[in-house]
Amino acid sequence: MFYDLFLRFLDHTNLVVTALTACAIIYTRSAGVAYFSAGALACTVTVKILKLALHQARPVQTTRYRQKQSYGMPSTHSATITFYGTYIPMACAWLPLHPSLPEGSLFRTLVMLVTFPWAFTVPGSRIWLGHHTTAQVVVGCAYGFIFACMWFSLWTLGLNALGKIVEDLVRVYIG
């Protein structure tokens, strides 16, 4: 029973991740968090475009979970959660904490203790649920990893300066 509930949760993890991301944006009002979120969305959209170009079917559904109607290569869930699982640890390791967040290494450690298991479990669940083949998940994970590294590099190579300007404007006009 627990396993079924766990798989059902993993099947809808995109809703949980989206809600948590929205809460992080609203709570922090951080340009860095908004930029990260835009990167996750861009990763998702580009994977969906790639799926349309590749036209690779999903595996025939052998579990009792619903058959997905879109193409399977690469796995969007795997790409997006790997984006999270790559970008967040890099941010925890190399970026300063936003003033709205608790200071210290404990917060960074807790964030990674939540992020890593989720980032490893969700891609596996796509196979367990019968939504994707192993190859579709591996390609999705590779895509998410590469996309996160590129997105993080753009931020650290200069877009963070623009982010500070945006944050200052938000602080002036919204508070």
How many independent structural domains does the chain possess? 1
Determine the structural domain holding residue 95 and report its residue range. 2-60+72-173
Instruction: Tell me the average confidence (pLDDT) per consecutive run of 10 residues in the chain, 175 residues long.
Output: 73 80 79 91 94 78 62 83 94 80 76 84 79 90 97 89 78 74
Residue 80 belongs to some domain of the structure: yes
pLDDT for the residue numbered 18: 84
Residue 65 belongs to some domain of the structure: no
DSSP collapsed to 3 states, the chain: CHHHHHHHHHHCHHHHHHHHHHHHHHHHCCHHHHHHHHHHHHHHHHHHHHHHHHCCCCCCCCCCCCCCCCCCCCCHHHHHHHHHHHHHHHHHHHCCCCCCCCCCHHHHHHHHHHHHHHHHHHHHHHHHCCCCCHHHHHHHHHHHHHHHHHHHHHHHHHHHHHHHHHHHHHHHHCC
Residue 66 belongs to some domain of the structure: no
Residue 83 belongs to some domain of the structure: yes
Residue 145 belongs to some domain of the structure: yes
Residue 113 belongs to some domain of the structure: yes
Residue 67 belongs to some domain of the structure: no
Tell whether pTM > 0.95: no
Residue 116 belongs to some domain of the structure: yes
